[in-house]
A and B are shown apart, each in its own frame.
Chain A
Amino acid sequence: MLSAMPHQRRLALVLAMLVLGSTACQRAGSCTGAYCGTLVFGVVGEPDILLPPSTQEGVSRDIEEQLFLKLADIGLSTNTIGDEDFQPLLAERWEWDGPLTLVFHLDPRARWQDGQPVTASDVAFTFDAYTDSLVASPYRAALRRVASVTARDPQTAVFRFREKYPEMFYDAVYHMRVLPAHLLRGTPRDQWKTAPFGRQPLGDGPYRFVSWKAGQSLELVADSTFFLGRPAIRRLIWRFTPDIMVATTQLVADQADGHDQLVTPDNIARAAAAPQLTIYPYRGATYGYMGFNLAANGDTTQPHPIFGDRDVRRALTMAVDRASLLKSVFGDYAKVPPGPVSQLWWIWDPEMRQLPYDTTRAKWTLSSHGWRDSDKDGIRDRDGQPLAFHLLVSSVSTIRKTYARLIQEQLRQVGVQMEIDEVDNSVVAERLAAGKFDAVMLAWQTDPTPSSGVPQVWTRGGFGRSNYLRYDNPAFDALVEKATSAATRAQARVAWRGAIETVNADAPAIFLFATDNVAAFHKRVADVRIRPDSWAALVRTWRIPPDRLIDRDRVER
């Protein structure tokens, strides 16, 4: 039939189909009032699984914020010490029963979305699951100081700790999202990593799971019966994209309503220029550095021939102008960190003692240690060995690659040759674990507290874990131990400052950047509050005023 049509008619038909396709997407719905609204988040990547103890990906955690509640959650201050800044969620209140026992009283209104009440047995089941080696939860180590969790009665959960320390409450509530025991008890724990529940979860949070189209999108809908108050925005949709450029394009083209981390100044500028968007800067959780392998490349029993020398490391650190590098790469959207510190941590203090940018002193130090350019080729050498090394960089990180090239040039100015090895993440991870590298460009996304990240990355206890540089200073370890067990925040602050200044003086790494996160959301969204450790934590309190609704907000499902 189509072939019998004249050319013009066929063309008209095809055009009509395209117009229909486009007009279908402009159909207005009928929802009005305070509880309409659909937010589309363009995100990079896709969830791995929506079963909190098994989750690894950041986007999974953002979605789980809406589906599963914690007993209580950290406040906007992100203060992890004591319990005064924490907000009740599943637990309506709590009290200390002696120095090592914490008692939570659950809110009796709390319900799973199948109508079952949330009980203390669910809390005990959750702790058991998170600490079960078969589940292999990445949060298991963080719960090592909690001895047990039991149900005193259906509304009362009791936590017992192995020792007293300032972040007991944080450990009790921050890492675990309470799970529905009645739905998960029948699934063998070694199968949780791929459990069907994780692709069709049922929770107790402000939103219910609706659908997950692999590679495309995931949809949640507000639970109008949520016991802490009905969320104002009716639907949340995560659209999955392969990279930040695509996500930003979607946002700028008004085909998404928000993105939590625009990352580069280019993306931020594009979003800022889009009239429908508002920019929201907030404290970042990431810090990055160029780390020196203190052990020989491939042989952890021997010191590195260059970086084993503390003074050489200090000289290299002083040869790098961190402020100008930061400006070149991030513009105004990052800060030079005062050590291995993210802006999220309460110990952030720009006044911490650091090595200055001083190329004269750097050159003098290198020369005084025998590194001189004896053959006049522009590269320093000693005993016939050039002052040269390889830097391992992830090929998928534009920021780290840019930093690497800029540092290469700055080091060349002081007679140091640095070759850049760009490889993919899996190779970086493998070579780090095997110690097969000279130097590496790394970045860590941190928890709200330094107490978990610093020991694992920078103390001797981190050997075999994430202390890939094999930095080892007993004085530093003692200060970290003192800080993590300090009774008060003031004492902890002093100890942390001492620890960070110690590591700065030893210069196992050049601490390059601590990011400012910049999010962009549609300007029709009101009451946008972003908690720096988890941008999606407060989405249930955001709203779209009725007079700002647009077509996609009104669409009825």
Chain B
Amino acid sequence: MTAWLVRRVAASIAIVFLVVTLTFILMDVAPGKPMLGPTERLVDPQAEAILNRQFGLEGPIDVRYVSYLRELVHGNLGLSFGLRRPVADALADAIPNTLLLAGAALLIDFLIGLALGVYQALRVHRIPDVVLGNVTLFLYSVPTFWLGLILLLVFGEWLGWFPVAGMSDPILCPTVSSFYCAMDRLWHLALPALTLGFVGAAGTARFQRAAMLEVAGQDYIRTARAKGASERRVVLRHQLRNALLSFITLFGLAFPFLLTGAVLIETIFAWPGMGRLATDAILRRDFPVVNAAVLLASTMVVVGNLVADVLLAIADPRLRVRSGGGEPA
């Protein structure tokens, strides 16, 4: 398995390098020019030219690319001309925010989704299963931004139960204890996390229900029952554990979301995360930020897949046996 792991890591690094290179080239050839200021204000072309030079936006692409790679190797992600600060600083601000939102959303997604999926599978074709199936289908079909707007309107604007935007109260947080501030943050987190979590949970529930039902017909489930195992043991030890294998793959796919964020939800709830950072940067052609965001996202995708494969190998003894002579299935 070690040899396989080394090969996978090497391939992952190559993929990231390729993605970063392609992004650099595509951003350069794509239409549009770096926006150094607002479009509705008059620009001084001389000042613009000086800033372009100072931010390294001039010169042949090969020279800029080599310079970019050289700085990247030294851990320097460059300067954002839109934010007027080092890209690393901007990422350091945005990543924890996105981790918080996406982490909470994934928690809601997987906890609710998993529980609902198992519950439905154990009551298949009965009323609770049919009702929950329709509810999850509805939620799964709903665009996330629409659900976000509805929750915002009802619970934020009309009922006033939750804040409508931002991730903390700027007046109170500096004046209260860190406990109250954490509670305030949780309060601000509720609507965006629930929006993302509900939509995700609907998909997860349907996925988990199908996985549970597929496993339920397997020989080893019948064998476990024939050996007199309790229903609780059959479900938890045999059915759920095996059904979770596909769930691990699902988690691997969701993993990159932890850092890349949810663009629309971050916009609707004014959540200052990676999604908003990257979108703003793309719109103003803030190349250093875009390149860094893509680097981060591609790294997360390959790491997510790698982690999922490793977890699968750990969870499924059959894969461990097969991986002894080569790759896991």
Contact = CB atoms under 8 A, between A and B. Distances in A.
Contact of A54 (B34, B35, B84): B84
Interface string A222-238: 00000000000001010
A240 B270 contact: yes
Interface in B176-191: 176, 180-181, 183-188, 190
B227 interface: no
A556 B33 CA distance: 46
B54 A136 contact: yes
Interface stretch (B10-18, B45-53, B131-139, B249-257): B45-53
Interface stretch (B111-119, B165-173, B306-314, B320-328): B165-173
Contact of A194 (B84, B266, B267, B285): B84
Contacts of A235: 171
A241 interface: yes
A21 interface: yes
B93 to A, nearest CB: 4
B85 A199 contact: yes
B42 A216 contact: no
B44 A140 contact: yes
Nearest to A235: B171
A18 B187 contact: yes
Interface string A310-343: 0000000000000000000000000000000000
Contacts of B164: 246, 249-250, 253, 255
Interface stretch (B63-71, B152-160, B236-244): B152-160
A interface majority secondary structure: mixed
Contacts of B37: 56-57, 138
B157 A552 contact: no
A415 to B, nearest CB: 31
A407 to B, nearest CB: 19
Given A134-B50, A426-B33, A426-B284, A141 B44 contact: yes
Size band of the interface chain B makes with A: 35 or more
Contact of A443 (B40, B163, B169, B175): B40
A4 interface: no
Interface string B263-280: 000111110110011001
Contacts of B160: 253-254
Contact of A24 (B46, B176, B266, B285): B176
Interface string A55-78: 011100000000000000000000
Contacts of A443: 40
Contact of B84 (A25, A49, A215): A49
B94 interface: yes
Contact of B171 (A54, A237, A396): A237
A246 B270 contact: yes
Nearest to B37: A56
A244 to B, nearest CB: 12
A239 B42 contact: no
Contacts of B36: 56
A555 B171 contact: yes
Interface in A121-164: 133-134, 136-138, 140-141
A491 interface: no
B84 A193 contact: yes
Contacts of B269: 246
B295 interface: no
A194 B84 CA distance: 5
A217 B185 CA distance: 14
A456 interface: yes
B41 A445 contact: yes
Most chain A beta-carbon contacts within 10 A, residue among B48, B175, B190: B175
A108 interface: no
A250 B38 CA distance: 24
A452 B44 CA distance: 11
A17 interface: yes
B75 interface: no
Contact of A249 (B157, B187, B272): B157
Interface residues of A, number: 78
Nearest to B81: A193
Interface in A1-45: 17-18, 20-22, 24-25, 27, 29, 38, 40, 42
A246 B46 contact: no
Identify the interface centre among B167, B183, B269, B277: most chain A CB within 10 Å of its CB: B183
B171 A429 contact: no
Contacts of B277: 215
Nearest to B280: A242
Contacts of A25: 163, 169, 172, 184, 187
B167 A216 contact: yes
A237 B51 contact: no
A73 B89 CA distance: 36
Contacts of A97: none
A443 B41 CA distance: 9
Given A190-B54, A215-B276, A56 B41 contact: yes
B128 interface: no
B284 A24 contact: no
A428 interface: yes
A429 B39 contact: yes
B39 A557 contact: no
Given A246-B270, A252-B157, A429-B35, A444 B40 contact: yes
Contacts of B276: 215, 242
Nearest to A433: B33
B296 interface: no
A219 B156 contact: no
A198 interface: yes
Contacts of B172: 24-25, 27, 552, 555
27 contacts: A18-B183, A24-B172, A24-B183, A24-B184, A27-B175, A27-B176, A48-B83, A49-B84, A56-B41, A141-B46, A193-B54, A199-B85, A215-B272, A216-B166, A240-B272, A249-B152, A250-B164, A250-B270, A255-B163, A426-B31, A426-B32, A427-B31, A429-B32, A464-B45, A465-B43, A556-B175, A557-B175
Interface of A: 17-18, 20-22, 24-25, 27, 29, 38, 40, 42, 48-49, 54, 56-58, 133-134, 136-138, 140-141, 190, 193-194, 198-199, 211, 213-217, 219, 235, 237, 239-243, 246, 249-250, 252-255, 286, 394, 396, 423-431, 433, 443-445, 452-453, 456-457, 464-466, 552, 555-557
Given A215-B276, A246-B164, 6 more contacts: A17-B183, A20-B180, A20-B183, A27-B180, A253-B163, A423-B31
